[in-house]
Amino acid sequence: MAANLSYDPVTKHVSALDTSEGYIEEVDALNRLTKDLVSSGLEVPENGEPSKQQTAMIQKLVNSAMDAMKRRAYAEAIKNITVAIDAASRRKRWEAFQVQLQELIGFLQLRTDAYMLSAKYADALVDADLLLLMTALTAENFLRKGIALLNLGRYDEARVVFERGLCFHEGNDKLVQHLAVSKKLIAEENGDAV
Amino acid sequence: MDEEEMPITKISVYTPLIYVTIMIGALVVFSIKYRQKKLKELTSRKPFFDRNIAKEMYFELVNADEKPNEQVLKAALIRRGAECIKRTLKLKEFTPFMNVLYHKGSISDDLWERFQTAQKVEEIEIQELVQETEKYKKGWVSKFLPLLQEVCLNEALAKKYNGLKDKKVDLLHEWGIKVNDDGTYVFPNQTPHKQTATVK
């Protein structure tokens, strides 16, 4: 076998002898893709159509998460959404990106709200941050990130997020309202409150 | 007026031949030296992108003494292609900025040449990928190239999502916020905002 790799013919698993971070990541991605190819039973992947079976299973998990949200069982909702995300991440890598992206956006929006309602603001913040990367054109995502920052005591960062949101969504009532709140809290923190 | 007779100097028949030979010889030596210098510059130039691990791995597996399963080779080829698509997308994204910066003189000739070399390398890489794909299944190439983009983007998305946990730990550490066993936060100097607002 080659110098930087070792191959197990039984498991079809490739291992890295080079332990640099990039190399290990690449080997993991290769093994993941090999697993997808073998499990698909295809000679070669030819289209990116998402698996209907997996879509149905994921939808079931999302529905149960929505029910839990309605019952205010936020911990259960978070658990179900995380399981749904894990299930979605097992989709074949060549399945349509747009489908996988929209799925993840939906899951993260739901999970961010569940985190906020259960006062897990740090978790909500990182989810909202990723949401903003994926969909900057949704005012609610700026609100999600800003509110999480406010609750973590990061008023200045929250103000920046609300202001940035207002650049995309001029005059949005909720963003204006929360920007005023963040400015008031900054003033209070600086001892300038009236 | 009497015409003065010009003295005739006799030269050997070999003189023009020697002259032409020396000229051609000098040109050939110059050309060889120039090409060697260019090649040396090209090989010693720092590449625009980091090492292409996916491509290295594909060649290691293909040339291995003990041939891996064909599905492993196909997966390695897809990974190599996805890396090529990633680099091509990055180059396309950089092109307008690089053009403006180069014409304004804000970037060096070296960086500009590295950028142009990277573009040529990726063009050749796509041609090589097309040839390799045909070895595995005839006619696969038309369906193979669109799949590479899906693989590349899905990998990037998974990477971003998998980084969330580390990001949270880093942020809390950076801001000096501690998390109690019950999940509540201990803030360093501030009393956090009491409003538990949510997005409706």
Q: What is the predicted pLDDT for the residue at A184?
A: 92
Which 3 state secondary structure label does DSSP give B185?
strand
Q: Pinpoint the alpha helices (H) of B1-108.
A: 14-44, 53-62, 70-103
CB spacing of B157 vs A29 below 8 angstroms? no
Spatial distance between the Cα atoms of B90 and B88, rounded to a whole number of angstroms? 5
Q: Half-sphere exposure of residue B146, counting CA atoms within 13 Å on the CB side?
A: 11
pLDDT classification of B193: cutoffs 50, 70, 90: low
Do residues A112 and A124 lie in contact, with contact meaning Cβ atoms separated by under 8 Å? yes
CB spacing of A1 vs B65 below 8 angstroms? yes
Q: What is the predicted pLDDT for the residue at A103?
A: 92
What is the tens place of the pLDDT at every residue in B175-187? 888 888 777 788 7
| A42/A29: higher pLDDT | A29
pLDDT classification of A193: cutoffs 50, 70, 90: low
Which 3 state secondary structure label does DSSP give A193?
coil
What is the tens place of the pLDDT at every residue in A134-174? 987 889 999 999 999 999 989 999 999 999 999 999 989 99
Neighbours of A127 (CB within 10 A): 29
Per the rule left: phi > 0, alpha: psi between -120 and 50, beta: everything else, A138 is beta
| A29/A189: higher pLDDT | A29
Residue A110 pLDDT > 90 = yes
Two structure tokens written together for B189: 């100097």
Q: What is the predicted pLDDT for the residue at B200?
A: 45
Determine the average pLDDT of the residues in B70-87. Answer: 94
Two structure tokens written together for B84: 């090529």
* B16 to B7, B12, B20, B23: CA distances (angstroms): 20, 8, 6, 10
CB spacing of A130 vs B160 below 8 angstroms? yes
Determine the average pLDDT of the residues in A54-75. Answer: 92
Residue B23 pLDDT > 90 = yes
| Per-residue buried b or exposed e for B154-166, using 16+ beta carbons within 10 Å of the residue's own CB | bbebbeebeebee
CB spacing of B155 vs A178 below 8 angstroms? no
Residue B76 pLDDT > 90 = yes
Do residues B141 and B134 lie in contact, with contact meaning Cβ atoms separated by under 8 Å? yes
Spatial distance between the Cα atoms of B64 and A6, rounded to a whole number of angstroms? 10
Q: What phi and psi values does residue B45 have, to the nearest 5 degrees?
A: -70, 135
Q: What is the predicted pLDDT for the residue at A174?
A: 93
Closest residue of B to A89, CA-based?
B158
What is the tens place of the pLDDT at every residue in A76-109? 999 999 999 999 988 999 999 999 999 999 999 9
Bridge partners (DSSP) of residue A7 are A14
Determine the average pLDDT of the residues in B88-97. Answer: 95
Which residue type occupies A65?
A
**Domain limits of chain A?**
51-118, 130-194
What is the tens place of the pLDDT at every residue in B1-15? 455 777 888 888 889
Two structure tokens written together for B148: 């590479």
Which residue type occupies B17?
L
Q: Which of A4, A23, A24, A33 would you mutate first to test chain B, the one with the most B CBs within 10 A?
A: A33
CATH of domain A51-118: 1.20.58
What is the tens place of the pLDDT at every residue in B122-181? 999 999 999 999 888 888 888 888 899 999 999 999 999 988 888 888 988 888 888 887
Closest-CA distance of chain B to residue A30, Å = 6
Do residues B144 and A44 lie in contact, with contact meaning Cβ atoms separated by under 8 Å? yes
Cα B179 to chain centroid distance, Å, stands at 43
Radius of gyration of chain A (CA): 22
Q: Average pLDDT of chain A? A: 89
Of B50, B68, B150, the CB nearest to A94: B150
What is the tens place of the pLDDT at every residue in A41-61? 888 887 778 888 889 999 999
